[in-house]
Amino acid sequence: MKSPRTKEKQPSAQFNPRQSKAADAQARDEKVRQRAYELFEARMRAGSPGSDVTDWLQAEHDVATA
């Protein structure tokens, strides 16, 4: 006699705060990267002095205050 098949439990799509925070951090980092690159390009076009660090810090500020 065959044993009855049981359905395997699917993982439920519950809210996971760790995943949410990680996704938020990834999205924020991507925005900072994009803004830092925009600042870098503008600085290069203008021939202005500066560095990648100043571009990054300004980008973090811009994203945080947007």
Which pLDDT tens digit goes with each residue over 37-58?
999 999 999 999 999 999 999 9
For residue 19, the model assigns a pLDDT of 80
Per the listing, tokens 């395997």 go with 8
Token readout for 59 is 């980008």
Kindly indicate the confidence band of residue 7, based on its pLDDT and cuts at 50, 70 and 90: low
Q: Phi, psi (5° rounding) for residue 49?
A: -75, 160
- Exposure string of 16-45, with b = 16+ CB inside 10 Å and e = fewer, is eeeeeeeeeeeeeeebbeebbeebbeebee
- Cα distance between residue 24 and residue 31, in whole Å: 11
